[in-house]
Structure formats: C-alpha cells, structure tokens
Chains A and B, each alone.
Chain A
Amino acid sequence: MKFFSLTVIVALVLFSNAALAQSAKGTTLPSVKIKALDGTVVNTSTLSNDGKPIIIDFWATWCKPCIAELQAIHALYEEWQKETGVKIIIISIDDARNSKKVLPFVNGRNWVFEAYIDENADFKRAMNVNEIPHSFVINGKGEIVYQHKSYAPGDEAKLLEEVKKILAEEQAKKP
C-alpha cells in the first residue's frame, strides 16, 4: 500500500513538472475592477508605468511572508526606482474583516507603493493566483514576463534581476 501511495505521489510530481512547460508568459493583464485605497474603481488592464516595468504583488494584512517581502522591497524601493524606474503595485486580497485596515496598515509602515484592494478576489482569480504572496513582473508593453510564488528572504533580488533583464532586452532592441 505504501509503495502504491509513493508511486502515485511521484507520478503527480512528474506530471506537474511537465505542466511547467506551459506558462502565462507574454500575456497581458486581464480586465477586472479593483479599488484604489480612496475608493476609486480602477480597471486592471489600465495599470501602467509609462512604458517602464511594473511589479505586481498580491498580499494581505494577515500574511506574514507577504509583509516580510514588502518590507524588504520597501527598504530598497528608492534605490530600485533610481536604477530602473520600476513601479511596485500591491494588491490586497483582504476581505471585510481587514479591508478597512489596509490604508492605515500601508501608511503606518510608510509604504509608498501604489496600492489597491481586490475584496471580491476578481483580479486574484483572473490572474490564477491561488496562494499569496504571488508576484508578477510586467514589461513596458504590459506583458507578464515573470512570476513568483511565496517568499523567502533574498527573493526580492530575483525580482530586480528580472526587471533589469527587461531593460537590457529593450536596450538591445533599440537601433
């Protein structure tokens, strides 16, 4: 029986690795509605940074690794912006239990990220996010070029690396 269980698990792992060949890379942002912290409704397909890269990060006020990630990026954000012009957009999936706390939470930590609330999880579902933190790197044309699930200390460096790759690629394309 144990052998059978193990075989099933191994088969599933292999299956999932095969599935990795597919990806959301190259697709643009879906069109759903989210709310800015002042209550204004914004269509996600209009999120932009004047042709420069964007990092979109799904988080929640109760998610410890999300906060660790955003705190780490917060410490480096000024440096990143100077170097690459990247914009960080954070999407809170907090529900009615905590959605009213999001603005004080963000302000209280001095975060200067562009922040939205996705209270009905429409954007989360449209982006196929099933766990947080989950971040996406978007190029100047609005295409998803990289995504990353979960957070461990040091992962923020990988995000910056991906942003720099976009800039290098765009630089190389210029005549």
Chain B
Amino acid sequence: MFVQPAFSQSSDNGILRSDFQLDAQTYRQDSLIGAPNVREKMLGQGFLNVLYSRGNFSAGVRYEGYFNPIQGIDLRYTGNGLPYRFARFNNDMLDVTLGNFYEQFGSGMILRTYEERSLGFDNSVDGIRVKVNAADGVTFTGLIGRQRSFFALGPGIVRGGDVNVNLNQLTVFGEDWLGQDAGTIELGASVISKFQTANDPLYNLPENVLAYSLRASRQSGGFRTDIEYAYKYNDPGFTNNRSFNPGTGLFVSAAYSGKGYGLTLNFKRIDNMDFRSDRTASLNNLNLNFLPPLTKVHTYRVLTLYPYATQNNGEIGFQGEFVYTIPKNSFLGGDYGTTITVNYANIHALDTTRIDEFTYTSQFFGRGKMLFQDLNIEIAKTWSKKLKTTFTFVNQSYDKDVIEGKLGYGLIHPWYVIGEASYQLTPKSAIRMELQHLFVRRDFGNWAFALLEYTFNSHWYLTVFDEFNYGNYNPEQRIHYYSGGVTYVDSGTRLSLSYGRTRAGILCVGGVCRVVPASNGLTLAITSTL
C-alpha cells in the first residue's frame, strides 16, 4: 500500500494548512481540595488556524472561542472572534505583513510578541511589518501597530525598528574579508517606542517611551558568546509601582561544546524592565518584552510546585549547565552511553537604596537577598534497546513571598528525588513509570508522586498517577490527587480524556506562568494538525 498524496503539487491553487485544538473540562465542587463551585459545570475553549499560501503570498486567520474560559485562563477572554488574521508577501528581498504578527528583536529584551495558547498568552501586534534584506547579511525590520488585548487592542501604539548584520555575509569589503579564523560574527540594534495618552491629574507621565537594545554574538568552532544590553527611558506604570527610574537589562552568555560535552554560562541583570504598551496593564497582558528566567525548565510534576518566574522589576543572577556523555562501551557508559547534566542557577534581588517615593539607586553588581537557587543533577542511562532510566536530584531555595506575592513564608528549601524508567515490552507496546518525592520542612510539607503509563500500540496510551501530599502539617489536607486518562494518537491528531483531581498550582511554559485553581472533573483535549 503506497501513500497517495491527498492533493499533490497543488502549487497552482496554493496550499491550505490548518490546525485546531479544543480543551473542555467538567467541574465538581470539592471543598477538601479547594475546587470552587463552577456555575457553568462545564467550560470549553478552542481555536482553529487556517493558513493559505500561494507562491510568495500567504494569508491566515485564527478563530478562537471561549465558552467560557477554562479555570485559570483570564476571564477577559470570554467570547469568540477572529483575533488573528494576516496577509503577507515575501520574496528574497522584501517581506511585508499586514495584520497580526509575532516578532522578536534580539533575545526579546525590548520586544517579543508571541503566543502560548496553553497559558492564554498572546501579545501579537496588529499592524504593519516590513523586513528588507538590504544587502547580503543585512536585514532591516520596521513595524507599527497596536497589541492584542484579549478580543480587543490595547490603547498604546507601538513603533519599532531593528537592524541585524551578519559580518561574514557582508560582501561590500570583498569576499571572506573577516578571514577564516574570525568565526561567525553578528551585530544588531533595535529600538521600540510606544505612545499612550496621559492625563493624570497628579503625575506628569511620559506619553512616549523609548527603549533600545544593542547586541553582538560570535561563534567559532564549539565556542559561542552572546551579549545584549537594553535601556528603557522612565515609564511609571502599575507593575513597577510608578517608578520613574529608567530600566536597564544586561544578558551575557558563553557556551563551549564538542563531541560528548557541552558547557553553558549565563549572566543576567534586570532593573525595572517590565515593559508594556499600556501603563495600567498587569498579569500576562500587553507585555512588549520577554525576560526569561535563567533557570532550568522543570517538567516533572512535583518540580512544578516551586517554579521561578523572572522578577521584571529587578534581579541579578547567573546559571551554569554542564552536559557530559560517558562514552559507550566504557565501564560507566555501558553499551549505549550515559548522559549526565548538572545545572546550577542562583538569583538575587538587586541591592537598591530608595531616594524618594518614585526613584531609587541600585549598585550594578550589588546583590540583595536571595530569591531562588537551584542545583540539579540528571543522569540518563540507556541500559539496552528496551530499558531506559533517568534519575534526577534537585535542591532548591525558593522565596515564596517574593515569587508568589505571599506573606510570611520567606525562603523555603525543597529538595527532590525522581526516578523514571521505560521498558519496551514488544516492538509497539511499552511501559513507563515515574516515582517522585519532594521533601520540604514548611509550606505544604512532603509530597510523593507515582505515575504509570502503558502504551498498547502506537495509537493508545493509558496513564494513571497519584500525587499524595502525605506530609501536610494539617492531617485533613493529606490528600490524594489521583488522575487517570486515556490518549489516542493518529498521525497529526491527539485526543485525550482524563478524570481526576488536580491540585492548585502554577502552570508555567517558557517562564511565563498562570495560576491554576484546584479542580475535580473530566478533562477532554483534542489537538490536530490537519
């Protein structure tokens, strides 16, 4: 049986692509775990993307519907509409987009618009963007528009420009003018300006706020360095407590790697860099920039209880990560090699001195109190073609008061031990197990977690897990959060149905988080690339 393309070489008529996702959940009140009474009993939301392209032209639209937003998603999404639509023309020299677009200048310190549907995050700009490849290796980008705010646009106008130069591809000085040993060198500069009317009776607020950033990177062999600096003129707003200080950001990264090893070092300093196109916006709304936390992204369930989120108003920190694969056919490496990853991150508040109600000074390399520290070691070993295991040890310090905006917890010190194993039973069926434990003296106390996943064949999986807060200091809160579900996958489509209790927590993707309340009910998720 051969695969017959559904509509082969349809370049004359163009190509249509689409994807959609649906999430629905039923809710039962469960006072023991704090699951609220949801009046609708069932909530559901979904989206459908349709993209069309023909030659140099493309266009797309996304329908989104929230009936009503599932628990934890901002209620301002309630409703439905077409909040994303664009038309684009691009050839080798010119790239023009009208409508919504996602753009990032450098690492995103002054501009990054993106979407993270699972968090209900979308700060796309609705406007006009033009990119020009002026000469080999030189790209200019210019944009203007307003940002999406749920099913409307924010009040501020965003204007921006960026230039990126790849020195190696620059031919005006002759071919290969940098020489063979120079490596790949890139330079870039960006500027963003936002405008929002101000008629505050008490304060003289700037209507136009400018921010700029400069960056450079060099790569040669296995060695890579990146540096980026950003500056933002004073922009008093809700999220920075009306600080009239300017904002600054510095990000430095060095990496060295070769066959079987890799080392990454990062340094970051952020001072008053929360940047939004509306000075009254808060939470995950109308952000212009993205300041990633320099900590490891943890995905094991118990490790999501204490996630770090960047303190946009000020932090200083560093991170180091080392990866090493013990060669195969050695004593420790076994037949398939063993990979060890060690990661350490340390983040402090800035050392600041207040001048008056609206301004402060901060020492550049001074450190205030510790906000977060994370040392984690992961050992992944393939024992045979059938058996694979991963062990993880993590030790953290977490300032719950600062990170979650609470009072009276201070710095807590959780540590974790996690084991994961997967075993192939037949060529198509497999079993996977996770055992996780979180030790913590305060807050919720200890947690244990066990997960079992059985893959019947390449289509069906069965997953059951239980998260047990057995160490809670309140005996009534020693609760089992059990869940069971079945998943069906067929090529580009995944359907999953699960039932269980979910603990209240923070869901983070890529360093942006949303608070998810506790729930008890049936969850359905369908996602498909058509």
**A-to-B contact residues, CB < 8 Å:** 1-2, 4-5, 8-9, 12-13, 16, 19-20, 22-28, 30-31, 38-41, 61-64, 68, 71, 75, 95-101, 103-110, 119-122, 125-131, 134, 143, 145-150, 152-155, 157-158, 162, 165-166, 168-169, 172
Contact = CB atoms under 8 A, between A and B. Distances in A.
Contacts of B522: 5, 9
Q: Is chain B's binding surface mostly helix, strand, loop or mixed? A: strand
A134 to B, nearest CB: 7
Nearest to A107: B257
Nearest to B420: A64
A4 B489 CA distance: 26
A39 B49 contact: no
B17 A128 contact: yes
Contacts, number: 258
B219 interface: yes
A110 B259 contact: yes
Interface stretch (B75-83, B280-288, B317-325, B395-403): B317-325
Interface string B183-212: 010100000000000000000000000000
A107 B6 contact: no
B219, B422, B493 pick with most chain A CB within 10 angstroms: B493
B117 A26 contact: no
Given A108-B325, A130-B49, A153-B430, 14 more contacts: A16-B20, A16-B528, A23-B530, A24-B492, A39-B186, A103-B257, A105-B323, A107-B323, A130-B21, A149-B491, A153-B422, A153-B455, A154-B427, A165-B2
Nearest to B489: A150
Contact of B264 (A28, A40, A104, A152): A104
B179 interface: no
Given A110-B337, A154-B429, A165-B3, A100 B22 contact: no
B217 interface: yes
Interface stretch (B7-15, B154-162, B271-279): B7-15
A96 B290 contact: yes
Given A97-B511, A149-B492, A154 B21 contact: no
B323 A157 contact: no
B530 A108 contact: no
A97 B529 contact: no
Contacts of A103: 222, 224, 255, 257, 262
A12 B489 contact: no
A8 B23 CA distance: 12
Interface stretch (B145-153, B234-242, B292-300, B354-362): B292-300
A126 B51 contact: yes
B476 interface: no
A8 B117 contact: no
B29 interface: no
A98, A153, A169 pick with most chain B CB within 10 angstroms: A153
A64 B2 CA distance: 33
